Amino acid sequence: MAKDTFYFTHDFNARQDAKIKRLIMKHGMAGYGMFWSIVEDLYNNANALPTDYESIAFDLRSTTEIVMSIVKDFGLFVVDSDTFGSMSVQGRLDARAAKSKKARDSAHKRWNNDANALQTDSDSNAIKERIGEESKSKDTKGEQEAAPLLESEFDTFWNLYGKKVKTMDCQREWYLIDELEYPKILEHVPKFVDASGDYLCNPIKYLEGRMWNDEQLPDYKKKSKTNTTILKLPTKYPKNSWEN
């Protein structure tokens, strides 16, 4: 029996990610190819592979040192004890599972309400085929609608925030944030920037402080100016003792 085949999106701008660029700089396009091979294996193993770098290296016809570097040196994977995975892969797997369940529930309800659905064996087979085709179509669509790579979401945030300083620090902090927070951040940023005005803080402070969770926006634009007492100097000065 043929093994089920699933698909995952490969963003066309993935190679523009800062992490990927550093990977290619160190290990070349061969390292880039090994990265995507590892991603494929993660999809086939519920986003968890053992940290058996020697076995992975043998499978990829590479060295243990290179595989270990790809997994650990560029922030592309999350290493936890004796396994590792990918936040991006997990987000897409979760989205696919949710879409698949919704499609199955919808099909089940539709066909249970059809009085003629089980009249004959041939009708039953036809229904199963139709459900299978619709589920497959919806599963594929679900994966296409899955969360994009972190860098594309980061670029959107970066352009909305506008104050482009400490880029690398911000990217590093961005990757530590749960992907489910991204829509909330992108909705909050324009309001935060507008409310901050000339007092807009550095983006790294915004990210580290998780400021999108603050109940109130900053009130800097309405901040009253500090009253300054102006000293009035006399128009005539007394003569100094050395003046005639």
Contact yes or no for 47/54 (Cβ under 8 A): no
Q: How far apart are CA 62 and CA 30, in angstroms?
A: 9
The band of 130, judged by pLDDT with boundaries at 50, 70 and 90, is: low
CA distance 179 to 88: 8
Task: Collect all residues with Cβ–Cβ distance below 8 Å to 211 and sequence separation of at least 6.
Answer: 188, 192, 205
Q: Provide the whole-model pTM.
A: 0.41
Report which of 145, 124, 144, 132 is spatially closest to residue 103, judged by C-alpha positions: 132
Q: Percentages helix, strand, coil for the chain, rounded to the nearest 5? A: 60, 5, 35
Count of residues making up the chain: 244
pLDDT in tens, 73-112: 999 999 988 999 988 888 777 776 676 565 556 555 555 5
pLDDT band at 60 (very low <50, low <70, confident <90, very high): very high
Tell me the one-letter amino acid at 40.
E
Instruction: Render pLDDT for 145-164 as a digit per residue (tens, 0 to 9).
Output: 444 444 568 888 988 999 88
Residue with the bigger pLDDT between 46 and 96: it is 46
pLDDT level of residue 123 (50, 70, 90 thresholds): low
Order the strands of the 49-50 sheet from edge to edge.
49-50, 83-85, 78-80
Position 205 confidence tier, pLDDT thresholds 50, 70, 90? very high
Nearest residue to 51 via CA among 32, 70, 74, 30? 70
Q: What is the pLDDT of residue 149?
A: 43
Segment 67-76 shows an average pLDDT of 94
- The two beta strands, 49-50 and 83-85, are antiparallel
Structural domain boundaries of the chain? 14-85, 89-144, 150-222
Whether 118 shows a pLDDT value over 60: the answer reads no
Q: Report long-range pairs for 77-80 (Cβ below 8 Å, ≥24 apart).
A: 77/38, 79/51
> Would you call 84 helix, strand, or coil by DSSP?
strand
Q: What is the pLDDT of residue 69?
A: 95
Res 49: pLDDT = 94
